[in-house]
Amino acid sequence: MNKIAELKEEVIKYAQKLNSKNLSPLRSGNVSARVVKDGVEGFLLTPSGKRYETLMPEDIVFLALKEEYDNLKLFNTGLNPSSEWRFHQDIYLKKTEAKAIVHAHSPHATAVSTHGKSIPAFHYMVALAGGDDIKCSEYATFGTTDLSKNILQALEKRKACLMSNHGQVAFGVNLKQAFELAEEVENICHQYIIALKIGNPKILSSTEMNKILDKIKHYKKA
């Protein structure tokens, strides 16, 4: 099995885990991985509108990163990539360290996102997303350039963010890391919802979070 075939199988594996781990039901959410195919830089992405339990390798779509390749032509060939392909492309173009992306409509992250607010440092683990809070991007219609722009703003110096009235997105150096970060974001959102039921939680200081951000660089290397 060649590298692209192996990566397609891995994309399917993590797309199905979106369902089994309760990060996204049925067809919602999407998964991608950066790859070079026939000398063209691009990424493999889950398709539009298919239940993940039925995915086959031929369903996983390759899209190019460069503008000279017209990805929109794919929609006329039957190879329909996720409608969110644009923000995957833009994240890969902006974030060279991103090798894999997981987008989920996970219950708690989506619930928090409907308030359109960042998650403050109520717990030091928000640092896993790369900063002293987890940003929430402004709302825009799915699949649009406006959504891509808003997500990139929220991902400034971050590896994950919420998407207002939509869900969350996370990236990593591989699919395992990206998926695990999405799980962490979901867990943090769950904790935040519980904390707010009691009242306004204590927020850690910038000084403390700077210490945490330094320590977190050496966390979860395996």
pLDDT of 28 reads 80
Instruction: Tell me the percentage of the chain whose pLDDT exceeds 70.
Output: 92
Terminal alpha carbon distance of the chain = 25
Domain residue spans in the chain? Answer: 3-216
The pLDDT tens digits for 134-159 are 999 999 999 999 999 999 999 999 99
Residue 157 phi, psi (nearest 5): 60, 30
CATH entry 3.40.225.10 includes domain 3-216: yes
The pLDDT tens digits for 73-90 are 655 555 688 889 999 999
The pLDDT tens digits for 170-186 are 999 999 999 999 999 99
The pLDDT tens digits for 101-131 are 999 999 999 999 999 989 999 999 999 999 9
How many CB atoms lie under 10 A from the CB of residue 128? 22
What is the residue type of 20?
A: S
Q: Does residue 41 have an active-site annotation?
A: no
Q: Which two tokens stand for residue 53?
A: 């339990």
**Catalytic option among 9, 67, 68, 84:** 84
| SS3 category, 133 | coil
Residue 109 phi, psi (nearest 5): -65, -40
Count CA atoms closer than 13 A to 133's CA, side-chain side.
12
pTM value surpassing 0.85: yes
pLDDT of 48 reads 86
| SS3 category, 174 | coil
Residue 47: closest CA among 79, 4, 86, 10: 79
- From CA 186, how far away is CA 172, in angstroms rounded? 16
Cβ(39)–Cβ(69) below 8 Å: no
Q: Which two tokens stand for residue 200?
A: 């306004």
pLDDT of 26 reads 72
The pLDDT tens digits for 12-51 are 999 999 999 988 877 788 999 999 998 899 999 999 878 8
Q: Which two tokens stand for residue 117?
A: 């607010």
